[in-house]
Amino acid sequence: MNLRDLIIIGSGPSGYTAAIYAARAQLNPIVFTGKEPGGQLTSTTEVENFPGFPNGVTGPDLMKLFRAQAEKFGAEIIDSSVDSVDFGSKPFKIFSSGQEYNAKTVIIATGASANWLGLESEARFRGRGVSSCATCDGFFFKGKDVVVVGGGDVALGDALFLSKIANSVKIIHRRDCFRASDIMQKRAKENEKIEIIFNSEVFEIKGGLSVSGVVVKNNKTQETSEILCNGVFVAIGHSPNTSIFKGQIELEEKMGYIKTFEQTKTSIDGVFVAGDAADYKYRQAITAAGSGCMAALDAEKWIEENN
């Protein structure tokens, strides 16, 4: 049996940072990158809020640097997804592409995926005017007209944030009222830069090299209209990539995020979590990287105490 000190499931800022710290600590980690090596940042164009890059860096380039640094210190990176896990006994069992891997400790860094509208045009303009992260990409729309799709606290929070940067913000919501908290609704309705469009859904996103507008359908009257805009922010939630851990580890009941105990510890002794698989509040590259560092240090300490 080839027993490893640590296996990291998932890449992105949290997984790669955990790999850097673990490899430098001589834990000889394996990293399974998953279906989307590098995580959500690989679908992002310019990243201007990650420290150390005053002129910005593309998401894919940033993740290439993370990966290269992990490999430099000896992390073994496998470009494959984990199919299932067995945390019921030690050593932990990880199954990928028909092979079994064994580890003393595991770090889950599978992240979360943005929920999208499912439009062909949305996928085409992603990274070219369509975004799921206002705090990440809002700066690029300074003085421009933008649309926010959604009706929860995140959508209204994005709209309020964007109102400080953009020329105008239109919130498009498919229902006749918001599900957001009263205070967020009050702030949005009182903001002069924000216009609210109820009972409407985005039917198509239009443009050439970048977004120029959206086609909106009123779901009461079935009438369609076009709204001119330069950016579309989809704020209908995120889903954590944690389905393979159901029944193996304790998850939050409503949303499916991994429950944490004492920072990065999970309900299973020796299994740790980093990044957006547990973080539904901040969801930033820098916070994910920080939690990856913490998880690696916690795993290292666990190994020292249990060897």
CA distances from 104 to 6, 8, 125, 127 (A): 6, 11, 43, 39
**Residue 287: pLDDT band by 50, 70, 90 thresholds?**
very high
* pLDDT, averaged across the chain: 94
Two tokens, residue 12: 């992105």
Q: Domain containing 251 — which CATH number?
A: 3.50.50.60
Task: Answer yes or no: are the C-beta atoms of 242 and 10 closer than 8 Å.
Answer: no
Do 162 and 215 sit in the same domain of this protein? yes
For residues 280 and 44, give the distance between their C-alpha atoms in angstroms, rounded to a whole number.
Answer: 19
Task: Answer yes or no: are the C-beta atoms of 122 and 116 closer than 8 Å.
Answer: yes
Q: What is the pLDDT of residue 44?
A: 65
Residue 280 scores a pLDDT above 90: no
Do 138 and 203 sit in the same domain of this protein? yes
What is the mean predicted confidence (pLDDT) over 59-72? 94
For residues 254 and 262, give the distance between their C-alpha atoms in angstroms, rounded to a whole number.
Answer: 21
Positions annotated as catalytic residues are 133, 136-137
Do 98 and 134 sit in the same domain of this protein? no
Q: Of the residues 234, 257, 292, which one is the last residue of a structural domain?
A: 234
- At 179-193, the pLDDT tens digits run 988 999 999 999 999
What is the mean predicted confidence (pLDDT) over 174-181? 93
How many domains does the structure of the chain reveal?
Answer: 2
Residue type, 29: P
Residue 283 scores a pLDDT above 90: no
Q: Of the residues 215, 234, 253, which one is the last residue of a structural domain?
A: 234
Q: What is the pLDDT of residue 71?
A: 97
- At 7-59, the pLDDT tens digits run 999 999 999 999 999 999 999 999 999 887 777 777 666 788 899 999 989 88
Do 227 and 242 sit in the same domain of this protein? no
HSE of 229, CA atoms in CB hemisphere, 13 A: 30
**Residue 160: pLDDT band by 50, 70, 90 thresholds?**
very high
**Residue 176: pLDDT band by 50, 70, 90 thresholds?**
very high
Alpha helix locations (H) across 191-253?
A: none
Do 22 and 61 sit in the same domain of this protein? yes
Task: Answer yes or no: are the C-beta atoms of 64 and 39 closer than 8 Å.
Answer: no
SS3 annotation, 31-65: EECCCCCCHHHHHCCEECCCCCCCCCEEHHHHHHH
- At 97-146, the pLDDT tens digits run 999 999 999 999 999 988 999 999 999 999 899 999 888 889 999 999 99
Q: What is the pLDDT of residue 238?
A: 86
Do 201 and 66 sit in the same domain of this protein? no
Element (H, E) at 143: none
Q: Of the residues 234, 269, 288, which one is the last residue of a structural domain?
A: 234
Share above pLDDT 90 across residues of the chain, in percent, rounded to a whole number? 82
Identify which of 245, 233, 305 has the alpha carbon closest to the alpha carbon of residue 273: 245
Q: What is the pLDDT of residue 45?
A: 63
Q: Domain of 19?
A: 3-113+238-306
Share above pLDDT 70 across residues of the chain, in percent, rounded to a whole number? 99
199 CB burial (10 A radius; 0-12, 13-18, 19+) = middle
- At 196-210, the pLDDT tens digits run 999 999 999 999 999
Do 24 and 38 sit in the same domain of this protein? yes
Q: Which residue has the tokens 């926010």?
A: 148
Do 226 and 121 sit in the same domain of this protein? yes
Do 153 and 292 sit in the same domain of this protein? no
What is the mean predicted confidence (pLDDT) over 154-181? 95
What is the mean predicted confidence (pLDDT) over 231-249? 94
Q: What is the pLDDT of residue 36?
A: 77
Do 248 and 274 sit in the same domain of this protein? yes
What is the mean predicted confidence (pLDDT) over 165-192? 95
What is the mean predicted confidence (pLDDT) over 247-256? 91
Do 109 and 242 sit in the same domain of this protein? yes
Do 13 and 30 sit in the same domain of this protein? yes
